[in-house]
A and B are shown apart, each in its own frame.
Chain A
């Protein structure tokens, strides 16, 4: 088995490496474009995957409604931006307010979802909470569809095409650059929150051992709520950014994005924050490369194949701790 793994690994890396180097030398700009495109996509996955991985780290629940929180963020930004746009507000103010509202609304939804759908099931078998999560996801999708519309709605990019950006716009657009930079900032802030603040310390303690944490005076319920709120906030930022990038939203955008982010989280090692970021970037960049150099028809097939291959080698993900767990 071990020999098989090694042979498989060497074969995959060898073939990819051979073609990769040949292609990169032939057209380095194209490679750069694909790489940056993949980085953008990976950043969006990462913003969503953080919510999955943090929640899993603390209560071992796959929060399948998380994709919907991302969608609600994009929707809220759309509504706020169009209303303020009608009133003729300054576009810089609109951007900030739209993002703030998106974050506040998504956090409120994330918080409420936890209180309604997961908290009563805290001691129930894990499968019950999982079913509850799927139910919540369907509910939120249909709720937004009925309250808003089932059609796609145009989303005017809140980030303008800056004049000074024009020379490189054909390689990476201003919006894509914004996505990457914002993601980096969010990651740094989140890292600091977890490492250096009191609540971050409490989160780490709760993740290690819930009972022990409560014995030493940590309010576990509050820590769990905070985790949902933080995860929702990053998802909302992701929602607003991607809507600016592709220019439209509807009630269903959270499904595929959420699924991909979930794969990314598993890929990186679910429960691990750096793992989720790494997994997202690996997934985003390899998807982009695959579409660019092979066939876009099989982009999703490829994404799932990567998941399978990595899980063969490291069953708990790239940065995951070695312990068996089930979804």
Chain B
């Protein structure tokens, strides 16, 4: 008899423990995953802070469906294997919607967990095509344009505006960088008239990139296209200039932002890069920048405004659906129109953003300036 009570007590205890997330009904929990430590931290922190500001604003207006919003934060250090663990933790902590992640590789890995848990995921920074175009991630949305849109712009700008004939393509072997360059190569083939003379990957954080720089020089490419992040890009661009290689350097949104210009210093002048449209004239955009400055004491980062838009979109979808039920939420995501800091945005059938696109920028006098 005694042991029966023991078993009963244990069973009750177990039930209470497992039931706990189900009872957490006072607030709506939004999980926010991304890279917030390590050398890519500026990207993740900028997205996270955007979400934090949005949550504050929404809570001031009464939250979602009359409930206050709570943000659960997770750090994936941009590694798929860490992202999976982190996603599992967010889900078990009771996250009901997800904002994130930042690095495409991490998002792809983590989304398997979110999909199984029936959560809507919206990312402010993951641009890998497969996330939306493959159809494997029906729960995934994003407030940033996908790589294909960017590759299209990059290649047509190279052909029509810069009028070069030969291109060297260098990537960092990662999901983001390599994916982007392979895509750009497909678009180059579609366009025709441009020869890809070199297509190589480099090791992130290697001691020296002299050999690859000499190789670019030998290929006599008029333009070097780089897929990867700002630290490797700035090393390569510095060595290209130091070795007197005459080639135009062209990157993507991985090198947009002041981080790249600071690191590459005087060598950054004349570098082209594609990045999200300049929406800084939008009043909401300016309001968020001001709030960011006040709250964190520094200027808003690369993905702050996209992060803000993510939370806005989730809130709008939840209000429209009237509940947090997965099917209703998902249906609502396709219908909503959000007045975001990026302008009025919506989502297409793949989950990609409508209304926010890319532009071409060039570093002039130490600042990225729009050129198209």
Whether A257 sits at the interface, judged by CB under 8 Å, is yes
Partner of A151, one of B205, B214, B235, B259: B259
Interface residues on A, range: 35 or more
In the bound assembly, the distance between CA atoms of A297 and B259 in angstroms comes to 26
Q: B243 near A252 (CB under 8 angstroms)?
A: no
Q: Mark B222-234, 1 if CB is under 8 A from A, else 0.
A: 0000000011001
Q: Which of A30-38, A113-121, A203-211, A306-314 contacts B (4 or more CB under 8 A)?
A: A30-38
Which B residues lie within 8 Å of A295 (CB)?
200-201
Q: How many residues of B contact A (CB 8 A)?
A: 38
Whether A316 sits at the interface, judged by CB under 8 Å, is no
Q: Mark A11-42, 1 if CB is under 8 A from B, else 0.
A: 00000000000000001001001100110110
Whether A296 sits at the interface, judged by CB under 8 Å, is yes
Partner of B262, one of A154, A170, A246, A256: A154
In the bound assembly, the distance between CA atoms of A27 and B243 in angstroms comes to 18
Q: Which of A140-164 contact B (CB under 8 A)?
A: 150-154, 156, 161
Whether A226 sits at the interface, judged by CB under 8 Å, is no
Q: Which of B245-276 contact A (CB under 8 A)?
A: 245, 259, 262-265, 267
Q: B211 near A287 (CB under 8 angstroms)?
A: yes
Q: B265 near A169 (CB under 8 angstroms)?
A: no
Whether A247 touches B235, Cβ cut-off 8 Å, given contacts A291-B215, A296-B201, A296-B215, is yes
In the bound assembly, the distance between CA atoms of A154 and B264 in angstroms comes to 7
Which A residues lie within 8 Å of B208 (CB)?
37, 40-41, 44, 242, 245-246
Q: What is the distance, in angstroms, from B265's C-beta to the closest C-beta of chain A?
A: 6
Q: B243 near A170 (CB under 8 angstroms)?
A: yes
Q: Which of A229-273 contact B (CB under 8 A)?
A: 242, 245-248, 250, 252-253, 255-257, 260
In the bound assembly, the distance between CA atoms of A156 and B234 in angstroms comes to 13
Q: B173 near A297 (CB under 8 angstroms)?
A: yes
Q: Which residue of B lies closest to A169 (CB)?
A: B244
Q: What is the distance, in angstroms, from A189's C-beta to the closest C-beta of chain B?
A: 23
Most chain B CB atoms below 10 A, which of A176, A242, A245, A291: A291
Q: What is the distance, in angstroms, from B78's C-beta to the closest C-beta of chain A?
A: 12
Q: A44 near B265 (CB under 8 angstroms)?
A: no
Q: What is the distance, in angstroms, from A310's C-beta to the closest C-beta of chain B?
A: 20
Most chain A CB atoms below 10 A, which of B208, B239, B265: B208
In the bound assembly, the distance between CA atoms of A197 and B259 in angstroms comes to 49
Whether A76 sits at the interface, judged by CB under 8 Å, is no
Q: Which of B194-219 contact A (CB under 8 A)?
A: 200-203, 205-212, 214-215, 217-218
Whether B42 sits at the interface, judged by CB under 8 Å, is yes
Whether B238 sits at the interface, judged by CB under 8 Å, is yes
In the bound assembly, the distance between CA atoms of A156 and B238 in angstroms comes to 11
Whether A252 touches B205, Cβ cut-off 8 Å, given contacts A150-B41, A151-B259, A152-B231, is yes
Partner of A296, one of B202, B205, B259: B202
Partner of B265, one of A154, A176, A296: A154
In the bound assembly, the distance between CA atoms of A296 and B205 in angstroms comes to 14
Whether A182 sits at the interface, judged by CB under 8 Å, is no
Q: B263 near A154 (CB under 8 angstroms)?
A: yes
Most chain B CB atoms below 10 A, which of A33, A40, A288, A295: A33
Which B residues lie within 8 Å of A288 (CB)?
210-211
Whether B282 sits at the interface, judged by CB under 8 Å, is no
In the bound assembly, the distance between CA atoms of A45 and B242 in angstroms comes to 22
Q: B39 near A252 (CB under 8 angstroms)?
A: yes
Q: A296 near B218 (CB under 8 angstroms)?
A: no
Partner of B210, one of A45, A154, A176, A247: A176
Partner of A248, one of B200, B206, B212, B235: B235
In the bound assembly, the distance between CA atoms of A246 and B242 in angstroms comes to 10
Which A residues lie within 8 Å of B205 (CB)?
252-253, 255-256
In the bound assembly, the distance between CA atoms of A257 and B244 in angstroms comes to 26
Partner of B243, one of A152, A153, A173, A246: A173
Partner of B211, one of A38, A156, A248: A38
Q: Which residue of B lies closest to A245 (CB)?
A: B208
Q: What is the distance, in angstroms, from B267's C-beta to the closest C-beta of chain A?
A: 8
Which A residues lie within 8 Å of B238 (CB)?
246-247
Q: Which residue of A lies closest to B267 (CB)?
A: A247
Which B residues lie within 8 Å of A27 (CB)?
218
In the bound assembly, the distance between CA atoms of A175 and B242 in angstroms comes to 10
Which A residues lie within 8 Å of B355 (CB)?
none
Which A residues lie within 8 Å of B209 (CB)?
246
Whether B37 sits at the interface, judged by CB under 8 Å, is yes
Q: What is the distance, in angstroms, from A11's C-beta to the closest C-beta of chain B?
A: 25
Partner of A297, one of B38, B201, B210: B201
Whether A200 sits at the interface, judged by CB under 8 Å, is no
In the bound assembly, the distance between CA atoms of A173 and B217 in angstroms comes to 14
Most chain B CB atoms below 10 A, which of A152, A154, A161, A175: A152
Q: Which of A160-219 contact B (CB under 8 A)?
A: 161, 169-170, 173, 175-176
Q: B263 near A152 (CB under 8 angstroms)?
A: yes
Q: A41 near B210 (CB under 8 angstroms)?
A: yes
Most chain A CB atoms below 10 A, which of B203, B239, B245: B203
Q: A34 near B234 (CB under 8 angstroms)?
A: no
> What are 20 A-B contacts defined by CB distance under 8 Å?
A30-B214, A37-B210, A41-B207, A151-B39, A152-B234, A154-B234, A154-B262, A154-B264, A169-B243, A169-B244, A170-B217, A170-B245, A176-B210, A242-B207, A246-B235, A246-B238, A246-B239, A252-B205, A256-B206, A292-B218
Top 4 A-B residue pairs of the complex, sorted by shortest distance between their CB atoms? A37-B210, A291-B211, A297-B201, A170-B244
Given contacts A169-B242, A247-B238, A256-B206, 6 further A-B contacts (CB under 8 A): A152-B234, A170-B243, A246-B207, A252-B39, A256-B207, A291-B212
